[in-house]
Amino acid sequence: MAVNSDALRVAIAGCHRQVQATPGGHNWASGFAPVPEANVVAIFDRGAETRQQFQDTWRDTWGNIAAYDDYDKMLAEIKPDIVCVSTRQTYHAEHVEKAIAAGVRGVIVEKPLSTTLEEADRILAACRDAGVPLANGTELRWSRQYQALISMLREGAIGEVTSVLMFGVTELVNHGCHWYDLALGMAGDAEPVWASAIIDDPSEWDDWRREDPHGRGWVGLDNGVKLAVLREGGSRAFTVLGTAGRLEIFNEAAQAYLWKTNPGSRSLSEMPTLVPLPVDTAPWARGSAIVLDLVNAVRTGGKTMCDVEETRRLTEIGFAFHASHQLGGARVDMPIMDRTLRIDSRPWGNLQ
């Protein structure tokens, strides 16, 4: 073990999904581990067994990691540069506000951001007012494959983007945030101005999904692009329509096909072109990409790929869908007026 003494000091809040070294989504410790510029020095969790498991798993990586069952005490004693908030979203606003008040320089927040837009407003205002960069936990924004596709679209591969269709969308807040983030990126990160949705009958579920079921909806952006949300389609997929072509994205961006509009007509080329995409060789490369992005933002005073404004836009969409459904699918203007509409947390963690 060789720990970089010049690295930023990291504290993780809520670590029950990080007690194994296997890299993967939600295991933020495995995202920090390959990045020598950031060392995990402390954790907060209410579970004594969880804290011990985390320490045992990551001791060879970072040495003796301080463990706390009191979040305020951890912040006061450790004075971390970065806090990774992976507690239950019920606590996100409180934990982010306290971290920023304690002087942290960067924050990662697990998705979904919050259980209400009022909580989201608090998180984003705290980061914005203090000039603290935020990395939202919608990790697909940092996927090399999706980044390549977003860059291609912004360079005009299909002309001006007119619509983005999202397929296989699951819960409209808890998981839909991943789709919205990517679709907004594909559409130029424009501002959502209205939404309309009908949510599936929640009675088909007998678990936490009754609070946040699937649905179908539309979002209008201020640049004229429209986003469509569909439950159908199996695994995550996208169709992007433009003035000069069409892009189809399948299997978590492992495959993408491009049709170009034939010159002088509105018809598309008969055969698509397979889009070459980068291939990740490191397991959960997105995790370390998020960490590196935040470290760079902290040190340069910059922003992350999914910082305050990007997070604000994508978070608003899921709650706007629920607000529209309450009005029978009527179109609602964004930002929506009711900031207290609550979509409760999934029941995970030791009350974290």
101: how many CB neighbours lie within 10 A of its CB?
11
Do 300 and 322 lie in one domain? The reply is no
Q: pLDDT for 262-294, tens place per residue? A: 877 778 878 899 999 999 989 999 999 999 999
Residue 350 forms part of a structural domain: no
Under 8 Å CB-to-CB from 113, ≥6 apart: which residues? 89, 92, 119, 120, 123, 136, 137, 177, 311, 315
Could you tell me the pTM of the whole model?
0.95
Q: Which pLDDT band, with edges at 50, 70 and 90, does 213 fall under? A: confident
Q: Which pLDDT band, with edges at 50, 70 and 90, does 350 fall under? A: low
Least confident of 28-37, 139-148, 228-237, 243-252: 228-237
Do 31 and 126 lie in one domain? The reply is yes
Residue 20 forms part of a structural domain: yes
Do 175 and 110 lie in one domain? The reply is no
Pairing of strands 226-229, 38-44: unpaired
Do 293 and 203 lie in one domain? The reply is no
Calculate the CA dihedral of residues 104, 106, 110, 116 and round it to 10 degrees.
70
Residue 351 forms part of a structural domain: no
Do 120 and 180 lie in one domain? The reply is no
Do 104 and 58 lie in one domain? The reply is yes
d(Cα 133, Cα 194) in Å, to the nearest integer? 27
Going from the C-alpha of 55 to that of each of 16, 46, 51, 71, 107, the distances in angstroms are: 11, 14, 6, 17, 22
The 3-state DSSP class for residue 42 equals: strand
CATH number at 154 reads: 3.30.360.10
Q: Which of 276, 313, 281, 310 is nearest to 293 (CA)?
A: 310
Do 121 and 254 lie in one domain? The reply is no
Report the pLDDT value the prediction gives residue 44, as an integer from 0 to 100: 98
Tell me the average pLDDT of the chain. Answer: 94
d(Cα 11, Cα 41) in Å, to the nearest integer? 6
Do 291 and 273 lie in one domain? The reply is no
Token representation of residue 213: 């079921």
Residue 231 forms part of a structural domain: yes
Residue 348 forms part of a structural domain: no
The 3-state DSSP class for residue 54 equals: helix
Q: Which pLDDT band, with edges at 50, 70 and 90, does 256 fall under? A: very high
Angle (CA) 44-348-181 rounded to 5° is 90
Do 153 and 237 lie in one domain? The reply is yes
DSSP per residue over 183-250, as a string? HHHHTTSPPEEEEEEEE--GGG--SGGGTS--EEEEEEETTS-EEEE-S-SSSSEEEEEETTEEEEEE
Domain carrying residue 31: 8-139+287-307
Asked if 82 and 10 touch (Cβ cutoff 8 Å), the reply is yes
Count of domains in the chain? 2
- Average pLDDT (283-310) is 97
Q: What are phi and psi of 348, to 5 degrees?
A: -135, 160
Residue 1 forms part of a structural domain: no
Residue 259 forms part of a structural domain: yes
Do 100 and 164 lie in one domain? The reply is no
Do 13 and 134 lie in one domain? The reply is yes
Q: Is the pLDDT of residue 1 over 60?
A: no
Q: Is the pLDDT of residue 349 over 80?
A: no
Do 163 and 68 lie in one domain? The reply is no
d(Cα 312, Cα 303) in Å, to the nearest integer? 14
CATH number at 100 reads: 3.40.50.720
Pairing of strands 82-85, 66-68: unpaired
Residue 322 forms part of a structural domain: yes
Report the pLDDT value the prediction gives residue 193, as an integer from 0 to 100: 98
Report the pLDDT value the prediction gives residue 233, as an integer from 0 to 100: 80
